[in-house]
Amino acid sequence: MDDGSGDSLAGTLHHPAVPAAARPLVVLIHGLAGSEDSPYIRAAAGAVLARGHAVLRLNLRGAGPFVGRTRQRYHAGRTQDARAVLAHLATTLPDLAAAGVVVVGYSLAGNMVLKLMGEVGALPPMVRGGVAVSAPIDLSATSRRFLKARNRPYHLWLLRQMKAETLATPAEPGTAEAERQAAVRRARTIYDFDDGYVAPANGWRDAEDYYRVNSALQFLPAITRPTLVIHALDDPWIAPEPYLAFDWAAHPALVPLIVTKGGHVGFHAARREQGAILGGEWLDRCLVRFLETLA
């Protein structure tokens, strides 16, 4: 779909082999440097399709097949793209959207989904619930945690991926975009990338301003529709303190599933169970059970 900006948003829609009545459409959104083909997206799609849900594997703006083909790029708070996709579904596939939609975000998109669910007055009525997995709900704290020595290999790999995605769209010499891309080339950390590219490209003063405006933590209290929040306290890249300090009990629409172990978008079952989904993936079983409460 074209959202009017000249860019396109794309995904892959799957219909279940045996549709189940009144099952909401599930929209799966990948994390930073991922796409609709990320392994966790494919695994979740298989799990929910097997339970009779239609599934949309959505690419964020400028990701997947559209790397190098958009003028703007995704970031942790770009909820307007999700709303545009939902509006498009309601218009073009009204029968499919009639049972409602559940939006599921992983990592960076988990922050986006929580922000979407908490944006008072902007959440489309078709959204019946949300799921966030390993979401960096405090973006500033996450950026600082990436600087720890133990995270250096992944930090550098992720930064290389981010640079490659961004620089795949050549900028006209002498333009503001060319200056921002020069900052991308100089960046030595994700903070540098956010400070030199993401913030100025989207109208924020600097990285801290971008983090302040878009961190999901401030949107959690406004969420009124069922929202599952899955996170592991041993996540190497996301600080546990924001999750531990938040008063979950005061907000009944939120369903926190905070566990001690699981890593970042990991949560593999310790053993295979009889009839377990996709060979025992705990994360996907939790997602399916949450969907069952909405069906």
What per-residue confidence (pLDDT) applies to 188?
A: 97
Q: Could you tell me which residue, 89 or 5, shows the higher pLDDT?
A: 89
Pairing of strands 55-58, 11-14: antiparallel
Pairing of strands 101-106, 25-29: parallel
**Catalytic-labelled residue, pool 138, 195, 235, 284:** 235
**Catalytic-labelled residue, pool 35, 107, 134, 215:** 107
What per-residue confidence (pLDDT) applies to 268?
A: 67
pLDDT digits (tens, 9 = 90+) for 235-258: 999 999 999 999 999 999 999 999
What per-residue confidence (pLDDT) applies to 5?
A: 66
Length of the chain: 295
What per-residue confidence (pLDDT) applies to 51?
A: 94
Residue labelled with tokens 């301003």: 209
Query: What share of the chain in percent tops pLDDT 90?
Result: 84
pTM: 0.93
Contact yes or no for 28/90 (Cβ under 8 A):
no
pLDDT digits (tens, 9 = 90+) for 169-227: 999 999 999 999 999 999 999 999 999 999 999 999 999 999 999 999 999 999 999 99
- Confidence check: pLDDT of 2 > 80: no
Give ranges for CATH 3.40.50.1820 in the chain: 11-138+215-294
What order do you get walking across the sheet with 25-29 strand by strand?
Answer: 11-14, 55-58, 25-29, 101-106, 127-133, 227-232, 254-259
- Confidence check: pLDDT of 277 > 80: no
Q: Which fold has domain 11-138+215-294?
A: Rossmann fold (3.40.50)
Compute the distance between CA of residue 208 and CA of residue 128 in angstroms, rounded to an integer. 32
Annotated active-site residue 8? The verdict is no
- Confidence check: pLDDT of 61 > 50: yes
- Confidence check: pLDDT of 272 > 60: no
